[in-house]
Structure 1
Amino acid sequence: MRFMVMVKATAESEAGIMPSEELMAAMGRYNEELLEAGVLLAGEGLQPSSKGARVMFSGSQRSVRHGPFVETQELIAGFWIFQVESLEKCIEWVKRCPNPMPSDSEIEIRQIFEVEDFGDEFSPELREQEARIRTRINSDD
């Protein structure tokens, strides 16, 4: 099972305050532990929302709103993709994480859909297309 593990933004991360050397070192050790255990598939920090944008969809219309976005508690400051046997295993790994922020913080965990989750609606043609896309993504490494 794959999970997206999202570090929620804080006032500090939205202000662009960089983590301390001590926190970066602790996170580096944690990431190495995840990698050695075969859990870590990807992970990145994100720039503050002031450097981002949102595209809103309404039928065929598109509109763009540039950051910053005010709902800090709903924003994401970084993420990992973990591959583990269960939600419980993912929670165990996340509980071992150093606090990713100087102040109180929160990490959200969401399971990623797998091809099998879509059932019969995911036709053989769509499965073949998905396989081609994944092959190309993985070959660009």
Structure 2
Amino acid sequence: MNHAIHLTQRRKAAKVVVRIHPLRHHAFVFIVSFTVTECLFWGLPIVGAVTVQTQNHRRNRMQFMVFMIPAVYQPKNGKQQPGPDFKPDPKMMTEMGRFNDELRKAGALLSLDGLLPLSTGARLAFAKRKATVTDGPAVDSKEVVGGYWLIEAKSKQQVVDWWQRCPAQDGDVIEIRQVAGMADFPADVQKALRESGTAGRGQRARSKEQD
């Protein structure tokens, strides 16, 4: 199907055009155009585009958590952890912002966030169902996470290829972990997760796609 479907409606000199463009993997792009008057009235952009992906498309994609373990957060050689007043390098943040924009344009980025230094947090260690709480500045950790990305990709190798272009600093470490889906657990665990309602949103969505 190589043609587009055009729907036009005229009302009080206003024109609405909906163009439905078929894409690969059974996805479609709906482009809606309005006159300037309608856009101003409804607070809409001049041209808006929404991509609708079907289950057949998403079925071929996996979710990954990508962790940033920045060198500046690591207490090494007796160096203390950064305090709550720590500020990242603006130039580095600009470069990372461009990298994140590339992920968004590729349709891969689901969410991302940076984390404050460990000195502002805490750690709970459990023994016999009881927790021992250690305040952030006293936590002894070899690897401190500084941020994360949640993304969708076709394979782990695709994620590796993307993050080889990440503007990381000397000593930074990137860790890639695939998000577990319902199909990754045995049947009894899947049943327990469904009955308890503790299955993650991504797990439930992928489980429906596989059924």
Q: TM-score range by the shorter chain?
A: 0.7 to 0.9
Residue in 2 aligned with 1:110? 177
Distance 1:110 1:62 in 2: 26
Report the AA paired with residue 147 of structure 2. G
Q: 1:45 pairs with 101, 114, 135, which one?
A: 114
Tell me, what secondary structure is at the counterpart of 1:76?
coil
Equivalent residues in 2 for 1:16-31, closer than 5 Å: 16=83, 17-31=86-100
RMSD of aligned Cα (Å): 2.3
Tell me, what secondary structure is at the counterpart of 2:186?
helix
Q: Higher relative contact order by CA 8 Å / sep ≥ 6: 1 or 2?
A: 1
Q: Decide which structure has greater strand share.
A: 2
> Once the 2 structures are TM-superposed, how far is the Cα of residue 125 of structure 1 from its aligned partner?
5.8
Residue in 1 aligned with 2:16? none
1:121 matched to 2:182: no
How many residues of Structure 1 are paired with residues of Structure 2 in the alignment? 131
Distance 1:35 1:27 in 2: 12
Unaligned runs of 5+ residues in structure 2 are 1-61, 75-80, 203-211
Q: Decide which structure has greater helix share.
A: 1
CA contact (8 A) 1:8 1:76 kept: yes
User: Percent identity at matched positions?
Assistant: 37
Report the AA paired with residue 74 of structure 1. E
Distance 2:103 2:171 in 1: 23
Unaligned runs of 5+ residues in structure 1 are 136-141
1:8 matched to 2:69: yes
Residue in 1 aligned with 2:154? 85
Distance 1:124 1:60 in 2: 25
Look at both structures and tell me which one has the larger radius of gyration over its CA atoms: 2
Report the AA paired with residue 105 of structure 2. E
CA contact (8 A) 2:112 2:147 kept: yes
Report the AA paired with residue 3 of structure 1. F
Report the AA paired with residue 90 of structure 1. V
> Once the 2 structures are TM-superposed, how far is the Cα of residue 126 of structure 1 from its aligned partner?
2.6
The TM-score normalised by the length of structure 2 is: 0.55
The TM-score normalised by the length of structure 1 is: 0.80
